[in-house]
């Protein structure tokens, strides 16, 4: 926990974000009393949930917003994907192997554009970075979790209206005080439905959320987003299927494609449905393009954890899913990750170790994720 003397400043920073002025003159005790009174009126985020202080403050162990030690780290590790569900059927594009598919005709140009000499980065791990968990967390709920209404403020016309089976204390990317994408991913373990939000913020009143965009996916089906629609990701793809999860490392295999970011992309290709920003040119890859680690990349000498990741990148590859730093591979935060070990793999792989794959032969229908088999 933070030192007692840090509490007024941390609460003040939170209230300042809400546009509320709190006088900070006087002794530290006076500051604390005034701040607590203000917070008791507004409420504050603690461990991912919106709570309010009791009118009469009592000294007790409580999480203070933006205090690193209080951010939700899922205990020993984040929730596991429910064994009652699959991350899409076995003949879905996310689970299709691409190690035998032909190299895309523009592969060399795409690699050069993203950065042939730029290293890969594992954008997940243990502990904190910039006061938030490292990676995109996942929450799991049962079918009796009440539904929540979501108010969309950026891409409402391209979002599923809901309601969403997302609890008010669902884990948020970056923690409750995160300032970036603030993705929320929730799996209904009974119905095998996936709910995802972008720029998500819980609203204490009436158990609601506010978000930039949102999407709902049936994990037993093949439906893609409508053409031109985003999701919680720029590409219109689901996020969770593309994350590296520690439980898969422990099982010895990752059997699906992964997700990575690039600074810019031009257009979109199946199975992506949406793109932003860049002008379309022949040398710029598109949202949805699939890249695999070259078969001749030497995996010997790496840890067992990194060998599982290497094998997945060779067999299933990774898809461009969002705008961000080039070659950033996404995963779920977990206290079991060894950050130094992940860094060993990151500095060993660079853009020239990949090749873009042509997956067009797998497509059955442009609006379906089902692939040809056999």
Question: 125-160: per-residue pLDDT in tens?
Answer: 999 988 889 999 999 999 999 999 999 999 999 999
State residue 65's pLDDT score.
41
Neighbours of 243 (CB within 10 A): 25
Task: Give Dmax over CA atoms of the chain in angstroms.
Answer: 75
Over residues 82-108, mean pLDDT: 97
| Residues ≥6 apart with Cβ < 8 Å to 299 | 306, 307, 310, 311
State residue 74's pLDDT score.
52
Q: CA 92, CA 372: separation in Å to the nearest integer?
A: 9
Q: Which residue in the block uniquely carries the two structure tokens 């040398």?
A: 283
Q: What is the DSSP letter of 10?
A: H
Q: What is the dihedral of CA 324, 325, 326, 328, to 10 degrees?
A: -90
What does the pLDDT look like over 240-265, one tens digit per residue?
999 999 999 999 999 999 999 999 99
Q: What is the DSSP letter of 321?
A: E
Q: Peptide bond preceding 48: is omega within 30 degrees of 0, i.e. cis?
A: no
State residue 18's pLDDT score.
36
State residue 251's pLDDT score.
97
Q: CA 299, CA 118: separation in Å to the nearest integer?
A: 19
On the 0-12 / 13-18 / 19+ scale of CB atoms within 10 A, 324 is middle
Phi, psi of 222, deg, nearest 5: -125, 0
Question: Of 148, 9, 20, which is closest to residue 66 (Cα–Cα)?
Answer: 9
Q: Where are the beta strands (DSSP E) in the chain?
A: 44-46, 49-51, 121-123, 128-129, 132-133, 139-141, 150-152, 184-188, 193-198, 201-203, 208-211, 213-218, 258-262, 290-293, 318-323, 328-330, 354-357
Where exactly are the structural domains of the chain?
4-70, 93-362
305 has pLDDT over 90? yes
* Whole-number percent of the chain with pLDDT over 70: 78
35 has pLDDT over 80? no
Please tell me the least confidently modeled range out of 83-87, 127-131, 179-183: 127-131
Helix axes 28-42, 7-17, angle to 10 degrees: 40
Over residues 30-34, mean pLDDT: 40
Q: CA 326, CA 251: separation in Å to the nearest integer?
A: 29
State residue 276's pLDDT score.
63
Rg (CA), the chain: 22
* Whole-number percent of the chain with pLDDT over 90: 73
State residue 303's pLDDT score.
98
State residue 185's pLDDT score.
98
**Of 106 and 42, more confident:** 106
Q: What separation in angstroms does the CA of 39 have from each of 5, 36, 50, 59, 240? A: 16, 5, 12, 15, 35
On the 0-12 / 13-18 / 19+ scale of CB atoms within 10 A, 184 is buried
282 has pLDDT over 80? yes
30 has pLDDT over 80? no
The gap from C-alpha 266 to its chain's centroid, in whole angstroms, comes to 22
pLDDT mean across residues, the chain: 83
State residue 78's pLDDT score.
64
278 has pLDDT over 90? no
State residue 283's pLDDT score.
92
- CB of 122 within 8 A of CB of 245? no
Q: CA 211, CA 47: separation in Å to the nearest integer?
A: 19
State residue 277's pLDDT score.
61
What confidence tier does 279 reach under pLDDT thresholds 50, 70, 90?
low
- CB of 324 within 8 A of CB of 254? no
State residue 79's pLDDT score.
81
State residue 268's pLDDT score.
95
- CB of 57 within 8 A of CB of 39? no
Q: How are beta strands 193-198 and 213-218 bridged, if at all? A: antiparallel
Two tokens at 321?
């899913």
State residue 114's pLDDT score.
97
State residue 275's pLDDT score.
83
Q: What is the pTM of this model?
A: 0.81
State residue 27's pLDDT score.
42
- CB of 10 within 8 A of CB of 32? no
State residue 336's pLDDT score.
94
Two tokens at 261?
């970011």
21 has pLDDT over 90? no
């Amino acid at each position: 926990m933070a030192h007692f003397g840090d509490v007024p400043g941390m609460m003040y920073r939170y209230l300042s974000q809400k546009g509320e002025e709190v006088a900070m003159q006087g002794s530290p005790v006076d500051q604390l009393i005034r701040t607590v009174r203000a917070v008791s009126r507004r409420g504050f985020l603690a461990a991912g949930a919106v709570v309010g202080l009791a009118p009469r403050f009592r000294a007790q162990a409580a999480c203070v917003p933006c205090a690193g030690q209080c951010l939700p780290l899922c205990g020993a590790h984040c929730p596991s994907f429910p064994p009652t569900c699959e991350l899409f059927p076995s003949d879905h594009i996310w689970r299709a192997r691409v190690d035998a598919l032909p190299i895309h005709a523009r592969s060399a140009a795409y690699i050069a554009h993203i950065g042939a000499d730029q290293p890969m980065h594992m954008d997940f791990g243990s502990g904190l970075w910039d006061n938030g968990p490292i990676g995109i967390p996942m929450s799991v709920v049962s079918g009796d979790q009440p539904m929540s209404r979501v108010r969309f403020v950026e891409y409402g016309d391209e979002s599923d209206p809901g309601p969403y089976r997302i609890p008010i204390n669902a884990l948020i990317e970056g923690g409750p005080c995160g300032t970036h994408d603030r993705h929320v991913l929730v799996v209904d373990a009974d119905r095998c439905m996936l709910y995802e939000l972008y720029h998500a913020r819980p609203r204490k009143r009436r158990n609601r959320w506010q978000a930039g965009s949102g999407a709902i996916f049936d994990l037993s089906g093949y439906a893609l987003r409508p053409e031109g629609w985003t999701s919680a990701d720029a590409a219109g793809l689901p996020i969770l299927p593309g994350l590296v999860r520690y439980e898969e490392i422990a099982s010895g295999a990752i059997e699906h494609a992964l997700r990575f970011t690039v600074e810019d992309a031009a257009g979109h290709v199946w199975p992506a449905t949406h793109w932003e920003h860049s002008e379309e040119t022949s040398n710029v890859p598109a949202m949805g393009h699939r890249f695999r680690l070259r078969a001749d990349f030497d995996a010997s000498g790496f840890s067992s954890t990194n060998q599982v990741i290497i094998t997945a990148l060779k067999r299933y590859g990774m898809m461009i899913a969002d705008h961000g730093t080039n070659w950033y591979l996404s995963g779920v935060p977990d206290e079991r990750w060894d950050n130094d070990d992940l860094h060993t793999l990151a500095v060993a792989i660079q853009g020239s170790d990949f090749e873009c794959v042509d997956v067009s032969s797998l497509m059955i229908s442009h609006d379906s994720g089902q692939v040809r088999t056999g």
